[in-house]
Amino acid sequence: MKFKTPQTLSQIADLTNSEFVGDPNFIITGINEIHVVNKGEIVFVDHPKYYTKALNSLATTILIDKKVDCPIGKTLLISDDPFRDFNKITKHFNPFIAATENISNNSTVGEGSIIQPNVFIGNNVTIGKNCLIHPNVTIYDNSIIGNNVIIHANTVLGADAFYYKNRSDGFDKLISGGRVILKDNVDIGASCTIDKGVSGDTIIGEGTKIDNQVHIGHDTIIGERCLIASQTGISGCVIIEDRVTIWGQVGINSGVSIGEGAVILGQTGVTKSVTGGKSYFGTPIAESREKLKEMAEIKRFLKDRKNS
């Protein structure tokens, strides 16, 4: 999430009531999660397991819950609760603005696009040319939709990330400040849900086609010309490269990658990253020929044991 105006380290420290290490005039351009953070941005870390990863990331300001040596060229914000203060930054720079109409007057709809009845379009949404948005679609704030996009009924773009911290008094929600971006020529089926990024973007690449009842989690990036069949569930922070085919009822774990041109057969559990150009099946996932051969051998073994 980029700030509209760059901030200084001391300004963010004042906002979060945190100590800081570094030049008070050090420029900060936004906040982001560790897997997508860039130079100029803040990343937060609140577990020793991830200290090294955060400190060595592209982030140039680290919001952290322990005093550590500051890497050269970077700054620190020392907080007793980085999760809370990351939320504080998100709310300050990207506050929730309640809608007052079904289609916000500060959103734009391109020439030739058709918006069917009962569609909700939030603040600062951009819809390209020659799109077709069917009834009861909900498009949350700041979403970006390219040209020639079709979205079928009851689909929701931009719901919050499913991201919580387990505290003694219950689950604490990490506030989502990211966006959903659909590139040109994307088709989205009926009753799909595509969550916005926590601080980055959930992106569906050009020409990708998605069937009914598919869920796509926060910060997932799907490449060009992919096919994703019904009842597939994709967790957050997944990378699906170009021309991947995913058949029905596939489940994909958070943080995995699927290589270009891979085919994931129905009811597969993608528990780890897989390379492109191959067909996969089963849970845990394996190359489909190996998995089907394994299943045949087990069936043969059980039959032989029964007859012995």
Residues involved in catalysis: 218
- Return the DSSP state at 161: P
Q: Taking every pair of C-alpha atoms in the chain, what is the biggest distance, in angstroms?
A: 80
CA distances from 219 to 40, 202, 261, 306 (A): 19, 4, 21, 50
Q: Cα separation of 121 and 142, whole Å?
A: 10
Q: Cα separation of 292 and 282, whole Å?
A: 9
What's the CA angle centered on 215, arms 227 and 100, to 5 degrees? Answer: 120
Q: Cα separation of 168 and 154, whole Å?
A: 36
Q: Cα separation of 34 and 63, whole Å?
A: 11
Tally the C-alpha atoms within 13 A of residue 203's C-alpha that lie toward its C-beta: 17
Q: Cα separation of 107 and 126, whole Å?
A: 6
| 174 CB neighbour count, 10 Å cutoff | 20
Q: Cα separation of 37 and 32, whole Å?
A: 5
